[in-house]
Structures are given as C-alpha cells and as structure tokens.
Chains A and B, each alone.
Chain A
Amino acid sequence: MSYYNEFTANTQLRLSPFFERTSKLNESQEWRRWSGYLAATNYELTHDNEYFAIRTKAALLDITPLKKYIIEGPDAQRFLDRLVTRNIGICKVGQVMYTPWCDEDGKQIDDGTVQRLSENKFRITSAEPNLEWIQFNATGMDLSITDDSYATAALALQGPNSRAILNAVASDKLDSLKFFWLMNTTFGHTPVSISRTGYTGDLGYEIWMDLKDALTVWDLLLEKGKSYGITPTGLHALDIARIEAGLILLDVDYISSRHAIIESRKSSPYELGLGWAVKMKKKDFIGKQALEAEAARGPEWDFVGIEIQWDELEQHFRKAGLAPGLPCTAWRTSTPLFKGNEQVGYATSGAWSPILKRYISLAHVKSQFAREGSELMFELKVEHFRKFTPAKVVKTPFFDPERKRSCPV
C-alpha cells in the first residue's frame, strides 16, 4: 500500500544537512522542534517499527541539532576540569565522558559528553546553547572556543546490528571500540569520527562528520545497512528508549539553572541521580563547595525510576469497563506522586516499555521516600476521573542489555 503525495513547503526553522533525505523519507510528515531545527517525530505513520529498530535491528537518527563546542589549547584540559564535575584529567585521548556541569551554587546547567580528540583538543556536546557560560568561565585561559554546532553534522546509529553495519561501511573494524571511546576512520574517502555513545542504552554509535559529507555518509549507511534492517528513526521512538535507559532530558526532567527563574526549579546533580558523576577528589570545579555541603547534609531530592504496578492499574480500568489504558508514546507532563496524603514527588516523563512490558517513569522524589522498593501512589486519570495507583521505586536503567558495553574481541 503506498499513496505517495509530494509537496514542498517553507519553514523558518533550521534544516539539517540530512533534510534532503529525511524530508522525503518522512511518510508521516510529523516534525518536532529540536534546538530550532525541524526534526522528524516519526518517519512512518506510527513509531513502533522505529522503536523496535532501536532494540532489535539498527535505528538511524539525525542528531545534528545537538550543540557542539570545540575547546582547544594548552589549557583545554584544565579548563574542562574546572567546568564539569567529572575528572577530565583521567580522560585519555580517544575517550569520551558523560558529565553534568553546574553553576557556583552546585545547580545543574546542562549535561553532555566530553570527547578527548587529542591531548589539547576536546569536543563537548550539550542540549542547550552554552557558549556564553563556557566563554565566561574561560577568561584568562590559553585556549580557543569554537561553536561547532552548525559545522559538524551528526548521526546516531543505535541497536544490536549497528556494529555490523559500521563494519561493513568503515575502512576500519569497530570490534575493539569500547563503550565510551571514539575512533577516526573513513567511509570510502570520507573521514568520520565514531564514538560508541548514544541516548538509547543499547549497543550504538554516534558518527560525527563535516557538514559537506553528510549526504554521502547517510547514503552509504542506508545502502550497506539495508540488509541489517537499518531504519530512519524519529524522536518518538528515541524518547521511549531513553526512558528505558534511565537517561534524563533537559527541559523535560530538569531545568537548566541558567534558565530557572525561581530557586525551586533548580536541581543539583545529586538531585538528578548523577551523584556518581561528581568527583570530589578533583582539586576544584565550579560548584564544588556547594556540592560538598549538599553531600554532607544529604540532598533533599532524589531522581529515581518508578514502575507503575500492573494489577491495580488494570483494576482501575476494569472498573470503568475498559482494558488498561497505556500511553502509546512517551509522556512529559509532570505527574504527582503521593505517600499517604502528602505529595512527595512528581514524575517528569514516562512510557510503556514495549520490550520490558512494564509501565515505567522517571521521577523526582524526596530523598526519604526514594529508596529502592519504596511504595508511592501515582496520579492517574481514568475516563476523566482522577485516581491513585501504586508505583514502586526501582533501579535504573530499566533496560540494560549486555551488548551495550560488550566487545566481541
């Protein structure tokens, strides 16, 4: 069945270098905004096939809208160590680190990856523009800062078959590329940089290339990837996958302290479940004092995974004469969590996990109620009426396959 209609339209939004391809592949013509870009919501009329591509085949996502900055110079490492909470001193050339960064009050501004491209050259990615903050904190340091966002195109290839596809396309084998490491290689004559990173919690890679090579890379991947089930994938599918992986999203799960207009909207890395990424042994970094004090008194909030319990959920719907109403896409509406009569938290994103067959969600919960196994009540609407149904604090990532980290050799 195919009824293809063609049309062209004008837009004030930025177009990715892959748009020439993605715009024709997007059969639903459903688009979302992502950092001022037009980004595909789903390519097919429903997103199921794309979601399962992430988990069973290989999904290809255009991630060009990510913000990217190149930090280069003799002081680059010293600067990044000051900027972010993780220890960049131990980050080797070719290694990648996921890290949050904070303001002086220890409240999180953004999170992203730091790639060490050479001894004195790094790439840092972020969700929102951070140039102002980066420049502001680099005064007096011997380095250059370049906003590379528009000059570098990026694709994510995620899913169990992603390695096989890259092995078929790249001039080097990727078998020994470890989780959170990167390598430079070529696709034919086209130079690319490949990091074993992603936003799905699966085996997956991100491919970084010059803007002018974007279509060549896209075409090669689709051609060689066809027999491996490569599937152009949109943000609906990605959103479910990242929740399964327990990965936070700026402006959905938290607000940048640079943009929060009231104190209560700000969160520290401890309050976002990123305490593991705060390295107190480091000499100094922005927000260290405040974070030390917070760690000493114990953070007020925690960020946890919760599972909405099936039996009670089913009963609520049964009483209304319905089968359990499950969200078919990931939701982002803040949803209250109660303990008795007291609201002790709120869930910020959630989804039905098709691979786990569990209704999962990410939530801010007051620390004393955030222990694993803690039982809370989740607000639920059944046929226009408000109900409460039990939810349990569980470990994240909800989905964590062996293949994410493993290497065949």
Chain B
Amino acid sequence: MSAELLLVQALNGLQFGVLLFLVAAGLTLVFGVMDFINLAHGVQYMLGAYFGATLAAATGSFWLGLLLALPAALAAGLALELLVFRHLYGRDHLAQVLATFGVILFLNEGVKLAWGAAPLQMPVPPLLEGGVALMPGLQYPVYRLAILAAGLATALLLWVLVDRTRAGMLVRAGATHPDIVAALGVDIRRLFLLVFAFGAMLAGFAGAMAAPVLSVEPGMGDAPLILAFVVIVIGGIGSIRGAFVASLLVGLMDTLGRAALPDLLRLFLAPSPARQAGAAIASMLVYILMAAVLAVRPAGLFPARAG
C-alpha cells in the first residue's frame, strides 16, 4: 500500500473516529452519571440523519437542514427520556438493555414506515463540494475534511463545557460520585435530563453530518451504537477524555485494518484467502482490542471512577 493511500485511509479513519466520538460522548456520560445502558442511543444517530436529510430537502438548504436537525434530535431525545428511560433508572442493567432494545425495534421500524425502506440521499452543500489536493495528484473530498474539522471543534467545545463550566463540573462530579452530588442538593435527575438531551443532540449531529457520505436508511444506527459501546468500554465508562482517545483509536484501527490487512496477509497467503481472512480479521480488530483492554485493564484506559 502506497503512502498516499495510507494518508487517505488515515484521514478516513480519523473522520470515522470523530463521528464515533460524537455518538460515544453522550453514551459515556449517560452511562457514567446514571449507570444507565442506553442501546437506543444509536437510533438517535439515525434520527439525526433522517431529520437532516428531510429538513435539508424541505428547506432546500443543507445548512438550514443541519441547523434544524439539532433541535429535532434534541426533542426526540427528550421525548424518549420522559416516556421510557426515566422509568428505568432504578432498574437493573438487564431491564435497561431489554427496554432500550424494544425502543430500537420500534424506531427502526417507525422510520421505515415514515420514510420507506429505501435509502435517502442528502446532497453535499455546494460550498463543500469537490476535492482538495493533499499532495500533487492526490485529491481528498472537502466535505470529509469538513466533517473532521466539525467533529474536532465539537470535541473542543465539549471539553470546554465539561471542564470549564459549572454544569460541566456537576456532570463530572455526577459521573464519579453521583450520591454525594445528590446529597449536596443538586437535582441529579434534572442534571441527567440535560446530559441525556445533549448527548442525543450530539448523536443526531453526527448522524446529520454523516448523512451526505453514508446512505440514510433504517437500522443505520446499530453499527455505530455497538462501536460506540466498544469505544466507551475501551476508554473507561464516564470518561470524555477516554472516549475521545478510544474513538480515534477505534476509527483508525477499523479503517486502516480494512484497507491494509488484506494486503499485509497477501505476504503470507494466496490473494483470495488473504482477501477473505483480511476482511474478517479487520472487522474483528476493534472487538479484539476491546477484549484485550478489558482483560488487562477491566475499567478501561481512562477510568473516570477511581477505586
């Protein structure tokens, strides 16, 4: 594999990583603060993509669509919290897994009913069309660079919010010592509603931004959801920093693995089995990483809750 291809794949991997981070950030906070497993977080990503695509088509503007998708995703998150998730906080993880699994079934099918099973397209905005020359003779789509930049900017904003504001301080405290925060007079339920809605919006934002490069279809949130879980388990549950590092790691490993492994294996194997084995091992790579991290550091790389 040539250096140019490696560069392109690394950029793709980083871009995938920041999208994963936007999904994982909400998930890890919800998990950390309320000890709540939300399998339905992936459908927030899917809803974001659908809202973005639909609103962009309705308003005729990508930017308006993206802008309006945010409050729509926020509203969807609030509705889910009030209707279902609120009643699951005191329950065991098993109940949470199952109930949120039910929400996935409902929303995946609901999306199919509302928008049809055929994938939607969301056009790339004219401003970000075309490619940019990274090196002589090597074009890279501007839009993908824009996703990367927007993702990094959001991560920075999130860091400022969580690390530098009062609300962020409460969230951090809530992730490590929820009982004490509650005892100090903070309405932890309201705090959680806030975190939850914000997380839903981030996932929706990721979905809407990814919509022009992916096909918007029912069930598109399932794969990012599982990868986001891998990310937060690797990074350490409740840790934003861990989620960021792990997202980029997972994004890079997954993308580079898929691109490079078949070529690497061809050094030892015949082309056809090398391609098959390479593809299989590449799709397993992040799970192997997660199993290895869990086996060595069960609390993840950056555990939020010490001791």
A binds B: no
Interface residues of B, Cβ cutoff 8 Å to A: none
Footprint of B on A, CB under 8 Å?
Answer: none
